[in-house]
Amino acid sequence: MRQLNVTNDKKRDALVGLDNLPPKPNIKYVLPTGEEGKGVKVLRGTMETSIDALKSKYNDMVELGEDIINSDPDIDLELFGKILPATRKLYLDPNDQIVYHIQAKEILKNPDGTVKEERDAEKREPNVTTEIPLRWTGKLFPKKDTIKKFVFSRKYQLKHVNGLTYDFLYDMAKQLAESDSFMYVGGGAKGVDPIVLTTGGEPQRGFLEGRIDGNKYCLILHLTNLELKKMTNED
């Protein structure tokens, strides 16, 4: 389980658990014998049989289409359908050659989709377990407004690791549940820095949501890097 260093409204901090549990599907697929099926990776094609590679060998798409009907040049009969073991991700250049050195770029876009800025990607370090904890900023956002303004891409559950952190997190969840609001949390000394979970990870804004049921609680960290804005028409 990951860890997270976070403060409460009294500016006291604690190291708590951070968990991302995917929802369990309600339906599962089984074989005729009743055994649960397992997913496998199957080879669908090779570089030599790709459409782009075949285009260079034919005069036009009509000729290529006719040959696909007659002789299946898009299928490698020796390799097609082969079950693959562990695979690795590779980057290719426009000529389908393996690229060994890449330079990552960050592209910032305007609300209309046009490119605003392009810059070299920073190699960021995680800031969720540093000596400076994530700050409880005190900035509340009504739930009904927040879910319309931001697109939340990930969510994690904060969990206690002992009795003291149970009281710590339960009190936070109770405050947020009673206010029916999200709490903005951020990194850095002033709590204004974005949250970075992993090395080289994407910086994101964080919002805490709390729910309680008797002596049970649920404290959720919602992450977003996309804010919805209205487009304006220019004459």
Q: Quick one: pLDDT at residue 124?
A: 83
Find the radius of gyration of the CA atoms of the chain: 25
232 — pLDDT class (breaks 50, 70, 90): low
SS (H, E, C) 91-103: EECCCCCEECCCC
> 137 with 60, same domain?
no
Write out the two tokens for 77.
Answer: 């009969």
Backbone angles phi, psi at 153, to 5 degrees: -95, -30
Contact between residue 226 and residue 220 where contact means Cβ atoms under 8 Å apart: no
Contact 205, 134 (CB under 8 A): no
Where is pLDDT greater, at 139 or 235?
139
Residue 58 lies in a domain: yes
Does the residue 196 lie in any domain? yes
Structural contact between residues 205 and 184, judged by C-beta atoms closer than 8 angstroms: yes
Residue 29 lies in a domain: no
One domain for residues 10 and 58: no
What would the mean pLDDT of 49-57 be, rounded to a whole number?
86
Q: Which residue has the higher pLDDT, 207 or 106?
A: 207
Question: What confidence score (pLDDT) does residue 21 get?
Answer: 72
Q: Does 129 lie in the same domain as 58?
A: no
Q: Indicate whether 212 pLDDT > 70.
A: yes
Whether residue 155 lies inside any domain: the answer is yes
Looking at residue 162, which CATH number applies to its domain?
2.40.290.10
The two tokens of residue 106 are: 């960050």
Residues 162 and 201 reside in one and the same domain: yes
Asked whether residue 91 is domain-assigned, the answer is no
- Across the range 156-178, mean pLDDT stands at 95
Residue 70 lies in a domain: yes
In the chain, what are the helix, strand and coil shares in percent, each to the nearest 5? 20, 35, 45
**Is 175 part of any domain?**
yes
Q: Taking 80 as the threshold, does the pLDDT of residue 94 lie above it?
A: yes
The total number of structural domains that make up the chain: 2
pLDDT attached to residue 150: 92
Do 14 and 52 belong together in one domain? no
Report pLDDT digits (tens) over 180-204: 999 999 999 889 999 999 888 888 9
Q: Are residues 150 and 203 in the same domain?
A: yes
Residues 133 and 222 in one domain: yes
In which band, very low, low, confident or very high, does the pLDDT at 20 lie, cut at 50, 70 and 90?
confident
DSSP annotation of 185: E
Note whether residue 74 is domain-resident. Answer: yes
Query: Given pLDDT bands bounded at 50, 70 and 90, which one contains residue 69?
Result: very high
Are 58 and 135 in the same domain? no
Q: Is the pLDDT of residue 235 over 60?
A: no
Residues 143 and 51 in one domain: no
> To the nearest whole number, what is the mean pLDDT of the chain?
89
Query: Is the pLDDT score of 151 beyond 70?
Result: yes
Shared domain check, 214 and 142: yes
- pLDDT value at residue 23: 72
- CB contact at 8 A, 149 and 228: yes
Do you know the residue count of the chain?
235
What is the residue range of 156's domain?
Answer: 2-20+123-227
